[in-house]
Amino acid sequence: MRGEDALARREIQKKLVVLFVWAAAFAFVEAAVVVYLRRIFYPGGFAFPLKPEMIESILGVEIAREAATMIMLAAVAWLADTRPWVRFGYFMAAFGVWDIFYYIWLWAVLGWPPSVFTLDVLFLIPIVWVGPVWSPVVVSAGLIGCGAAVAYRTGGGGVFRLGAGGWSAVVLSGLVIIASYLWRGPAAMRGEMPGPYPWWIFWPGFALGLGAFFRAWRDAPPGDSG
């Protein structure tokens, strides 16, 4: 049995490597789209305040593109395995690699962002998300670590479970982090300079989610997964 588990873990490792390469390549496609948009709408270089008329002119297409991106990340994770927790781990890891490499490629092509403290438009659903580059990078690093660990453990015959309390903590964590991004969204949409990022909202939310993961990792009983 241990030999079979070892083989399964090696297979998980191989799939994670391929998944990371795919996510990094997909991030370049995403970054390339943003390069084109910035050359068209911000020829002098992207910076706040935003141009609301620019966002409104392509808002529907951009929302659809963002939704399609999530579908593609979920689809590749779904195809990579048949076990729910392994799929979920793959999705988290792929999302994290994609997001971090998105910024790596933008920096390689445009020299942007000049700093991890630079503000960026992170998402458009349901309204503009605004935050410094370091914040999605921190979240993505957590997703890579947690996702790869869950996939490796459950794919190799191990156990991971969150339970109702764990899921509640993870969902609340996500909502708190999103709230920190939406905090300055309305001002940005009005073409105003966003105020300081509410890091005091972000960090408790991030700590809550990470803590829920580690508690589930530590407390999952043998032979039970769900």
DSSP string, the chain: -HHHHHHHHHHHHHHHHHHHHHHHHHHHHHHHHHHHHHHHH-TT---SSP-HHHHHHHHHHHHHHHHHHHHHHHHHHHHH-SSHHHHHHHHHHHHHHHHHHHHHHHHHHH---SSTT-EEEEE-SSS-EEEETHHHHHHHHHHHHHHHHHHHHHHTT-----HHHHHHHHHHHHHHHHHHHHTTHHHHHTTPPP----HHHHHHHHHHHHHHHHHHHHHPPTT---
Asked whether the predicted pLDDT for residue 115 surpasses 80, the reply is: yes
Asked whether the predicted pLDDT for residue 2 surpasses 70, the reply is: no
User: What is the pLDDT confidence band of residue 225, given thresholds at 50, 70 and 90?
Assistant: very low
Say what the pLDDT of residue 76 is: 96
| Range from 2-11, 129-138, 194-203 carrying the lowest mean pLDDT | 2-11
Say what the pLDDT of residue 3 is: 61
